[in-house]
Structure 1
Amino acid sequence: MDPLSAISLAGNIIAFVEFGIKLTMKSSEIYASMSSETDANRAMNTITTDLGVFSENLSRSISTHSSAAEEDIASLARECAEDAVKLMRILNKLQVAGKESKKGKLPPLIPALKALWKQKDIEEIQQRLTNFRAQITLRLVALINDKHSSMTMLLVELASSTSVQLRELQSNISQIKDITYKALLQPSQELANPISVSTKLEALAKVGDNAIEGVLKSLQFDSMRTREATVAKAHTETFEWLLTDNFDFHRWLSRSAGIYWVSGKPGSGKSTLMKFLCRHAKTHEALNSWSTGDLLITASFYFWNAGTPMQKSLQGLLKSLLYEILRQCPLLIPVVTPNWWGNAFNLAIDEPWSWQEVTEAFDRFTAQTKVSCKTCLFIDGLDEYDGDHSEMVEFLFKVAKSPNLKLCLASRPYNVFEDAYGHSPDRMLRLQDLTRDDIRRYAYDNFESHQNFMRLKSFDDQYSQLIEEIVNRADGVFLWVYLVVRSLKEGLTNADTVSTLEKRLRQLPSDLQQYFTHILQSVDDVYWEGTTKVFQMTASALHLLPVGVLTILDDEDDDFCLNAKLRSMRLAEYEERVRILEKRLNARCKGLLEVRATPGHLYGSNDYNGRHLVDFLHRTVRDFLRIGEVDALLKSRLRTPFDVDVALCQGFLVQMKQFIIADDPTICRELPMIKAIEDLCYHAKRIEILAGVAPTKILDEAFRAVKEDSIIHNPYALFHSALIRHGLSRYLEYKLDSSHDSLYMDQDILPLEVALTGSDTATNRYTHHLDPGVVQVLVNHGADPNESIPGSLSQWTVWKSFIAFLTATKKFNWILTSPDTIFRTVEILLKAGAEPYEGLSRDMYRILDPHKARLLEELIYKLSHPDGSPHGNTVTPQPYVTRNNNHLTSVQNQVTQGRTAEAKRRPIPANPNIEPRNDGKHRSRIRSFFHRLE
């Protein structure tokens, strides 16, 4: 049972008992309040509705691994739920009777109600409710004193917390104890003020539920289930053989621990098999035999090298598994994540998990013995892990040492996995060797569903021989079978004879790569250029592309994205655009790209724009397109130069401006806009890096679209934050150099703070990439590293926050930024006047290697002793971004201190007409700092 859920059930029981007693024993008061048949019917409707709510609340499912006291509470709740249903049935009959009485067929409702309470059924319910009142007192005392209950274990885990909410929780439990103990001393064993007790119990349960939800939410990340949602379902009755007693896998599920490895060629169906196993009832039946009465937990993860960093990293794996494990068994939360659990009672969790916290939480889970449970993890695509495969193997061996945990793994047969898992025949299978019957069934079912096949087969038995030839040539590769069957069904549509179909089959290469080449060569030459563009755009995108991004493909106007109007569309128009794009993709890509409708889409549960995403048919298609000669072939089909990043920026701009659904209030509009901005800025940064210029027209138009969309809260902060975090230094410089342009942020956020730590949101802090160019642009335009962060202590500056951020992330092995980038950024800040503090030298040695730390020490000394003299003049630092000499005289300026409260924006004015700051005070602080060191 989840922590505190028994408490919630107890509160529902008390509330229902008091409601039922009042209803059945104090009916005279109810009758007195009814002056008409209308009042009677209204009262009946209200009572029936309340009973329905009680019935639902009392029928909540509970774990079979509860303590004895918790199970007693649950048993009593089930009995109460049955009585609630009985009362509802009786009252429903009377409501029907009341309607018929208007026709004179039955007596009026009020007399019928009076007669109701004399029935034997009601008398029995009255007696049962009275008994329940006494029982709940006893069982509540037992629950509070049960050392094995979820609530007791919860409080033990939180004993060291100083949370105000926790102290209130403990106080409420103490009050409930007092009330229930006093009730035991009464002859009737009735609770004093039962409604108050029920309210307190519900409050306790809500505190626990909110804390659980907060911890689980902190583990979630975008696209956590996207890959699983895109994996094809297994064909009917395929893979069933693996879950029979004849195979070692079933015996491993039901009896053994350790690791089982599924090896398979590319396209053999490994991911489909893993999805099948995770969801099949027989898998869970076999695992329940292994768990021998302990709580069974199953969790899965699908590595995806075409996905986001979290979808192909160890951190993504562990966070996803922890989320599933703790969601299924919340009682593990205080055991596995004690700090996060304690924080969940103090305040809303809005910080990201550090790498150290994730690994420590997972280690606690594998080592814990407080909660009796057994866990089976299904991990697909080890070969798609974006890291050292040997380290992954070592990590999984370590995890598998737990006697209460087993792992089912799937990958291509790389040597590293063969060496690790390929020596135990009873703990592995090679999928392509075992699927002949599945392939035969798949081919036959698909042909049989074609109306011409059955008709032609009745005239010529040789049609069936085609299926055997497919099975023989497939070599266990389901993807090849899928492509071949699709091609042959086209022949069936044309009423091809057996001999024609055989020729068609023999012309199709057995090798997947050769088959893909054959498909590319079959594309009409009029589409060649479009084929190359769409393949390059899909392969270069960070995520699966929403269909709206690819609508630019056939538009010959290069400025279409700039000229397109900002408007909403109806759902019907959106669906028509999806249908058209599917047809165009099919003509240009011949099925190698697909539009997928997926509920586990990228942009959130209520975003229709993310429900139709363009993806490769299979990972092998992406791998094929990366082959040098294939890439050269595609590029040779381009008539004019094509910049894929520019095209993606244009596509995301169109997505922002036109793909907004207007006629469904449940659809989120803001989130897809935010995502489109993030993706547009990512590709704009690539343009800055590769071409050396910023796509200013596209970014200007994107900003205009954001400003004009009324649904976006604080569009200035949203857009400018994205520019800063993605490192668009050239465009930022252009914006700040333009007349009357400023960077507006939220009232409590400094642009330089965003540049250094990505601190506008917790998620952005995790995905933030430090860019020295942006830092230089901001300080050139007046950003002060010594400015205090709004809402913090006066001495907590942007500069100190940055060093603390680097120190903490280095400690947690979380820094993705190169040491050179950190060095250049710190150098820029010191030259811009960042004040040294006691302990800075120590921090530099923690963050950087000794050589770079010494260079920074020397820089600090030079800044404090210009020209070799402690009293000389400072040397004007060279900016990171090259600027003309006229401009250098005005770049050292302070950030405007005033804030616009009404708009909640913070401007950094471009080219402010103020004198450069006097650095004398700064020099004296540096000298003081070095004197302390000496």
Structure 2
Amino acid sequence: MSGLEGIAGLSLACNVMQLISFGHEAISICRRIHESGSPEPGLSEHAESLKAVCDGLENSLGKRPTPVATAAPTAAATRAPTMEKRLLDLAAKCIKNARDLEEEMKFLSPSQPGKLRALVAAPKILWRKRRLERLKGNLDDAQKVMDTSILERLFARVEALYQANNQGFSDLSQELQEFITDHAASNSILRNAIETQTKGIQDHVTMESSKTQNEIKLHVSLKLSSHEISIKNHVLSSARDVQDTFSQRMTSREDSKAKEQAYQQLLKSLKYPGMNERRNQVSESHPRTFRWIFSDTFRFSDSDSDSDGESKWLTEDDSSTHSDEPADVDTTSIRSEESVESSASSRSSTRSLRPTEPPPWDSFIDWLKDDTRKVYWISGKPGSGKSTLMKYIESNDSNINNRELAIRFLSHYLWRPGTFMQQSIKGLLCSLLHQVLSEDERIAMEVLKRQPYISRKDADTDWTARELETTLIYVLRNSACLHLVLLDGLDEVADTPDEGVGRLLCLINDLVTSNRVKVCVSSRPEPALKRELEKHPMLKMQDLNNRDIRLLTRERIEAMQVDANNYTTNHLSNLICGKAEGVFIWVILVLNSLKRGLDNYDDMDTLYSRVKSLPKDLTKLYKEMWSRLKEDSDLYRRKTVLLFYMAMEFKTDPERAIIWHGNANLLGLAISTDDEMLESFMSSHGWELPDTELLWQKWYRLGRKLPAMCAGLLNITEPEEAFSSPNDYESKFKPWGKTGIDFTHRTAIDFICNSEEGKELFGPYVPKQDDLLSRAIKTDLILLVA
């Protein structure tokens, strides 16, 4: 029972597998029908193609003409009809099988595409599969037989053609046969000869080609060797050139670096502390003053005259600017109180005609254009604005260069109250040489090459005055530029055996020996200077700056907001200008005095009376200013004189100028004049340093009191806002190391130290030099350790 069950199970499995196989086959057929519309996509095309070939074969065989009977038909000719008949039968059979197959395919293929029709057609195809395979096999068998028959027929026809050719050759004449035979033999001989010749040519070509190839190889090898050697030599040469060039560039760079270092060291050796201090201290001119210095022409104002009756000359720039001012003050004359009768009488009428007398000064521009005259002298009273004019000329070099005068400016301002270098000829030479070399590195390199020992100098103390002078003259003579040298304050040169006015004048004469140098100098009209310089083109400041003083006076009075009508203001302005006699500093001092009077609420009559009573002489004016302080106590006067002399001590000590950035310092002045602080610092208990708040209090109090204590002779160079409030000393104390002090003018120092009036006022209170030095050293120590 179990055995039968196993067989039944196996039978069931086989049926299942057969069903699966049938399903797979049905699915494949359905897919083919769905995709191509036919169960065998290529079979129909194959049958149609074979049918077309068979149709063509039937037509070809059926239309052949009946061959003409020959005398002796060959076996091939005898078999030909039989073969053709058989081919026709096979073709007909193939056509029939193809038609049957085509009909079967049409029967099995669905009439329209679609999945449902493909599913319907699949069982039909499976059911008639054997018939379809049988029709396909019949068609293939018929095709194979027909192919074989066609090959047989082709062979028979080729054999018949061969026999016919042989028969035709036999039918030819003997001569023709021999000719053909000989021709064939000749062709064979010719072919052999051609083959032999061809082989010989090939061998020759091969030999020559091999020979040529060897020669080419040899030539190429020689050329390559030659080129290789040439390339190696070129590479080595290029490498050496690159190495040499690199070495040269490195050497050149090192040389350039060394030259630059030598150049910078040369400039450094010429610069000393405070070299430009005096130039920077000279105040800027009023925007509308000094224009006349650059004018080419003059015009005469016949209605304007000085109080002494001198005529006034105007430039075109002056008259055009002058005409823009209000009519009631448009004048360049100096009028006293008695000469002012009405505003109409102060109007100036200017004629373009020149007067018969020459102008009171030599044209500066004409002097620049004249190659024969080398020196120009700007002469003037103390405080007449000589330094300001020199700075104006230097600052407006475009006015000269625009006139086709390509000139490079050099300048130096001698300063008697300054350090020795600031007032010496050596300092002057250092300054001028530094300016020239700073602007012309080429000539500096020439100097270093010409005098190699100069490269070892690193400070101004390494130079002698003779070396500086020789180098400067060489540089100016060999420079590509024209130079205008501006020397201010010849009268302020150091009065030592090696310096002095005489030595300075000799230097100027040496400078102008070069055709490329002109020198413009300014000084007071001292006898030694006047005797040498008055033969050169010149001008006198006090004769030419009346109008400039008027402009400054009017502007300052208007800025004070004086409570008066225009007539009174003009009256006061005319009075100041008339008494000034061309001295700017006198006007500045008087205007400052008026400002203090206004701060004290003086009325206009009081101010007018104050100006009217002031002396014209600067020394007497300084004395008048001092007397107005009404402080005659010995203690007060001793304190003030100490301030004056300590300020001069700080200004003239070069080492201290370095410590204090080249300026006399307000804090240092406060410490050095405070006896209690100095004694406390040097007490026997050790150095007792003052605290920051105490220092600030001393600094602040002196800053507030200094202008009044010194009667305007000593001023603070920082804004007064720094002392406006005693609160918040931390923020107010920040500028303590930079708040400088300076004398109003060199004439103030002359008044204090040299005038009879100054000696009378301050002589008994002048401190000893040892005391000044001791105070300065103690002050330095406090500032260094504080």
Aligned to 1:362: 472
Residue 219 in structure 1 maps to residue 334 in structure 2:
no
Measure how far apart 1:271 and its partner are.
Answer: 1.1
- Preserved CA contact (<8 Å) 2:429 2:465: no
Aligned to 1:384: 492
Q: Secondary structure at the match of 1:462?
A: helix
**Which moved further from structure 2: 583-592 or 357-366?**
357-366
Residue 209 in structure 1 maps to residue 260 in structure 2:
yes
- Preserved CA contact (<8 Å) 1:336 1:362: no
Aligned equivalents of 1:562 and 1:327: distance in 2? 47
Q: TM-score, normalised by structure 1?
A: 0.44
The residue correspondences of 1:107-122 to structure 2 (distance < 5 A) are none
Q: Secondary structure at the match of 1:289?
A: coil
* Residues 407-439 of structure 1 deviation map (CA, whole Å, 9 limit, x = unaligned): 110011122222222234xx2110111011111
Aligned to 2:338: none
Residue 513 in structure 1 maps to residue 623 in structure 2:
no
Aligned equivalents of 1:304 and 1:433: distance in 2? 24
CA distance change for structure 1 residues 628 and 448 in 2, over 3 Å: closer, same or farther? closer
Aligned to 1:530: 639
The residue correspondences of 1:889-904 to structure 2 (distance < 5 A) are none
Aligned equivalents of 2:418 and 2:556: distance in 1? 31
CA distance change for structure 1 residues 196 and 568 in 2, over 3 Å: closer, same or farther? farther
- Preserved CA contact (<8 Å) 1:548 1:651: no
Aligned to 2:379: 263
CA distance change for structure 1 residues 463 and 318 in 2, over 3 Å: closer, same or farther? same
Aligned equivalents of 2:468 and 2:365: distance in 1? 32
The residue type equivalent to 1:525 in the other structure is: D
Aligned equivalents of 2:716 and 2:278: distance in 1? 14
Residue 656 in structure 1 maps to residue 781 in structure 2:
yes
* Residues 176-218 of structure 1 deviation map (CA, whole Å, 9 limit, x = unaligned): xxxxxx99x99xxx99999999877655543332121011111
Q: 1:249 aligns with which of 339, 351, 364?
A: 364
Residue 398 in structure 1 maps to residue 510 in structure 2:
yes
Aligned to 1:372: 480
- Preserved CA contact (<8 Å) 2:265 2:457: no
Q: 1:415 aligns with which of 524, 527, 532?
A: 527
Aligned to 1:625: 752
Measure how far apart 1:348 and its partner are.
Answer: 6.8
The residue correspondences of 1:168-207 to structure 2 (distance < 5 A) are 203-207=254-258
Aligned length: 451
CA distance change for structure 1 residues 302 and 568 in 2, over 3 Å: closer, same or farther? farther
Measure how far apart 1:401 and its partner are.
Answer: 2.2
- Preserved CA contact (<8 Å) 2:387 2:489: yes
* Residues 595-623 of structure 1 deviation map (CA, whole Å, 9 limit, x = unaligned): 3359xxxxxxxx98874433321111111
Measure how far apart 1:485 and its partner are.
Answer: 0.8
Measure how far apart 1:497 and its partner are.
Answer: 3.5
Measure how far apart 1:643 and its partner are.
Answer: 3.8
Measure how far apart 1:223 and its partner are.
Answer: 1.8
Aligned equivalents of 2:510 and 2:245: distance in 1? 52
Aligned to 1:560: 680
Aligned equivalents of 1:349 and 1:555: distance in 2? 37
* Residue segments in structure 2 that go unaligned for 5+ positions in a row: 1-233, 298-314, 316-362, 654-662, 720-733
CA distance change for structure 1 residues 391 and 647 in 2, over 3 Å: closer, same or farther? closer
Q: Secondary structure at the match of 1:461?
A: helix
* Residues 657-687 of structure 1 deviation map (CA, whole Å, 9 limit, x = unaligned): 2x35xxxxxxxxxxxxxxxxxxxxxxxxxxx
The residue correspondences of 1:455-604 to structure 2 (distance < 5 A) are 456-457=563-564, 459=565, 461-523=567-629, 524-525=631-632, 527-540=636-649, 542-543=652-653, 545-551=664-670, 552-556=672-676, 559-563=679-683, 578-596=699-717
Aligned to 1:300: 411
- Preserved CA contact (<8 Å) 2:457 2:463: no
Measure how far apart 1:540 and its partner are.
Answer: 4.8
Q: Secondary structure at the match of 2:717?
A: strand
Aligned equivalents of 2:677 and 2:389: distance in 1? 46
CA distance change for structure 1 residues 260 and 569 in 2, over 3 Å: closer, same or farther? farther
Aligned to 2:440: 329
**Which moved further from structure 2: 498-507 or 477-486?**
498-507
The residue type equivalent to 2:673 in the other structure is: L
* Residues 536-560 of structure 1 deviation map (CA, whole Å, 9 limit, x = unaligned): 3334553463323322424446613
Aligned equivalents of 2:596 and 2:429: distance in 1? 45
Aligned to 1:428: 538
Relative contact order: is structure 1 or structure 2 higher (C-alpha 8 Å, sep ≥ 6)?
2
Q: Which one has a larger percent helix, Structure 1 or Structure 2?
A: 2
Q: Secondary structure at the match of 2:525?
A: coil
Aligned equivalents of 1:539 and 1:343: distance in 2? 35
- Preserved CA contact (<8 Å) 1:212 1:333: yes
Q: Secondary structure at the match of 2:462?
A: coil
Q: TM-score, normalised by structure 2?
A: 0.52
Measure how far apart 1:586 and its partner are.
Answer: 1.3
CA distance change for structure 1 residues 547 and 373 in 2, over 3 Å: closer, same or farther? same
Aligned equivalents of 1:636 and 1:305: distance in 2? 21
Q: Secondary structure at the match of 1:492?
A: helix
Q: Secondary structure at the match of 2:415?
A: coil
CA distance change for structure 1 residues 635 and 556 in 2, over 3 Å: closer, same or farther? farther
Higher Cα Rg, which structure: 2
- Preserved CA contact (<8 Å) 1:537 1:644: no
Residue 309 in structure 1 maps to residue 420 in structure 2:
yes
Aligned equivalents of 2:690 and 2:262: distance in 1? 39
- Preserved CA contact (<8 Å) 2:707 2:714: yes
CA distance change for structure 1 residues 496 and 586 in 2, over 3 Å: closer, same or farther? closer
CA distance change for structure 1 residues 347 and 634 in 2, over 3 Å: closer, same or farther? closer
- Preserved CA contact (<8 Å) 2:409 2:484: yes
Q: Secondary structure at the match of 2:582?
A: coil
- Preserved CA contact (<8 Å) 2:487 2:519: yes
Aligned equivalents of 1:392 and 1:222: distance in 2? 22
- Preserved CA contact (<8 Å) 2:430 2:460: no
CA distance change for structure 1 residues 350 and 506 in 2, over 3 Å: closer, same or farther? closer
- Preserved CA contact (<8 Å) 1:532 1:634: no
The residue correspondences of 1:640-789 to structure 2 (distance < 5 A) are 642-657=767-782, 659=783
Measure how far apart 1:636 and its partner are.
Answer: 6.7
Measure how far apart 1:478 and its partner are.
Answer: 0.3
Measure how far apart 1:340 and its partner are.
Answer: 5.2
* Residues 330-351 of structure 1 deviation map (CA, whole Å, 9 limit, x = unaligned): 211133454555663x897897
CA distance change for structure 1 residues 219 and 347 in 2, over 3 Å: closer, same or farther? closer
- Preserved CA contact (<8 Å) 2:677 2:690: no
CA distance change for structure 1 residues 613 and 492 in 2, over 3 Å: closer, same or farther? closer
The residue type equivalent to 1:207 in the other structure is: A
* Residues 785-832 of structure 1 deviation map (CA, whole Å, 9 limit, x = unaligned): xxxxxxxxxxxxxxxxxxxxxxxxxxxxxxxxxxxxxxxxxxxxxxxx
- Preserved CA contact (<8 Å) 2:379 2:522: yes
Aligned equivalents of 2:458 and 2:535: distance in 1? 49
* Residue segments in structure 1 that go unaligned for 5+ positions in a row: 1-181, 599-606, 661-704, 710-934
